[in-house]
Chain A
Amino acid sequence: MISFDGSKCTGCGMCANVCPQGAVKIKEEKAFMSDYESCMECGACRLNCEFGAVDLTKGTGCLVAIIREDILKIRPKGTGCGCGTGPGCC
């Protein structure tokens, strides 16, 4: 899930600029999620927010990664997908 802390957000627009899907928008100098279905929770907005206004649980939206990391818990977070990230993977 993703949420924006309005008290910290300055409306600088960096989160909207770096979003690859255009899911984050700025309205009345505050960031908000305009289309959660389009958001990939990739974490670009959180990483590039200098004010710590974005709260996000980052993860890989992929069957293999979720089975390994979240269901079976046999791989640490961020190493379970099939792209070859983890040691011995693929």
Chain B
Amino acid sequence: MDGRSIRPPQVKILGLALPKRLKFGKMDYLKVLYSWTRAFRKTFIIEPGLYFTGDKYDRETPLLVTSNYHMTVYILWRELRGRNARILVIDTDGINVWCSSGKGRFSAGEIMKQIKRYDRRLLTGTDRLEIILPKLSLSGVSIAELRRNGISPKVGPVLAKDIGDYLDRVPLKNMYSDLYRFSIRQRLFTLVPSLAQTIKYSIYIAAGLFGWHLLTGTDIHWQVVPLTALIVTLYVVLFPALPGRRFAVKGLFLSIFLSAGFAADFAFTGIFSVDAASLLFYLSFATGGCLFFALSYTGNSGVSNYSLVKKEIKNFLPITAALFVLAIAAIIAKGLSA
């Protein structure tokens, strides 16, 4: 169903489009996995339009609206398997529901644009067309504007996994009380793309450090990769347990815990046999890494406040940069002394 590679011919009668059966195959599953590691970025798209699941198209079945991000449509389709339903995929430039609505791309205008492509009698037998909106689309969709256009919008659940239960309870209600929760399940979902994003950069850093090690024998290079993975995993998993409400403050506390570990090793155990320059490198790299990941996690999380994040970035990004400069100075000093 990848809109980039497969574009099924648009069947039209008298200039109006017809609904298509929504089907996904094994390749789509692989595409979803790939999109997941790409941190929800634009990867594959679904051609906008009206689709249906189940045996046949039926205008009496629920009409759900979603974005044309491949992963979103796939997950919705999976939840609707074995059920007669309709899906109106709107053009959000291949971006997921929440991100596209936040930017105004998932809007009442885009919904109307797709609806107008189809014969009204194909969509509804009454004068009002009932559609089900994802709750997270409401930062881009004006309910009043839809009503003015003869649409009766129902606000559906936040998550696709709750769609089945929602559709089973007729008559359909507005899920106003359904709230977004940044649960462990949600956070673990963000762990894979977060690791994919950060490990890539840590490998680049490790490669640079390895070059310096070949020249000077510092013995510090690959260690930054598992250290980065540790920072990311601990931050994501422990997110609500870390002290503070702001991202950077949580990162700072995580770095204190990690630094305490390094300092304890230096002072008491010597398991890793770190000298003073190495200790300084690890402390500054770990603290800078914790802060940087904390700031970058704002984009992957679903709980970041624009104004507060902006303040955090202005306050903590220079500190993060200074810590990385200190780490570079420490490793240079260690190499030169060796």
Contacts and interface: CB of A to CB of B under 8 A. Distances in A.
Interface of A: 1, 14, 16-18, 20-22, 36-44, 47-48, 50, 57-67, 70-71, 78-79, 81-85, 89-90
Contacts of A67: 313, 317
B143 A20 contact: no
Nearest to B137: A44
A52 to B, nearest CB: 12
Interface of B: 38-42, 93-96, 99-105, 135-136, 138-144, 155, 158, 174, 176, 179-180, 245, 295-296, 298-299, 302-310, 313-314, 317
Contact of B140 (A17, A21, A47, A79): A47
Contacts of A42: 101-102, 139
B104 A66 contact: no
Contacts of B142: 47-48
B144 A57 contact: no
Contacts of B99: 81, 83, 85
The 3 closest A-B pairs by CB, nearest first: A84-B42, A61-B304, A62-B299
Given A41-B305, A61-B304, A84-B94, A17 B176 contact: yes
Given A83-B99, A85-B95, A90-B42, A47 B138 contact: yes
A30 to B, nearest CB: 18
Contacts of A61: 298-299, 304-306, 308-310
Nearest to A48: B143
A73 to B, nearest CB: 13
18 contacts: A18-B176, A20-B136, A20-B138, A20-B158, A37-B308, A40-B302, A41-B305, A41-B307, A48-B142, A50-B144, A59-B307, A60-B299, A61-B309, A62-B309, A66-B310, A83-B42, A84-B42, A89-B42
Contact of B138 (A48, A59, A71): A48
A81 B105 CA distance: 14
A1 B305 CA distance: 9
A1 B309 CA distance: 12
A1 B307 CA distance: 6
Contact of A63 (B38, B155, B174, B296): B296
Nearest to B310: A66
A47 B139 contact: yes
B92 to A, nearest CB: 9
A57 B313 contact: no
A21 B179 contact: yes
Nearest to B41: A90
Contact of B299 (A63, A70, A79, A84): A63
Contacts of B135: 18, 20
Contacts of B245: 37
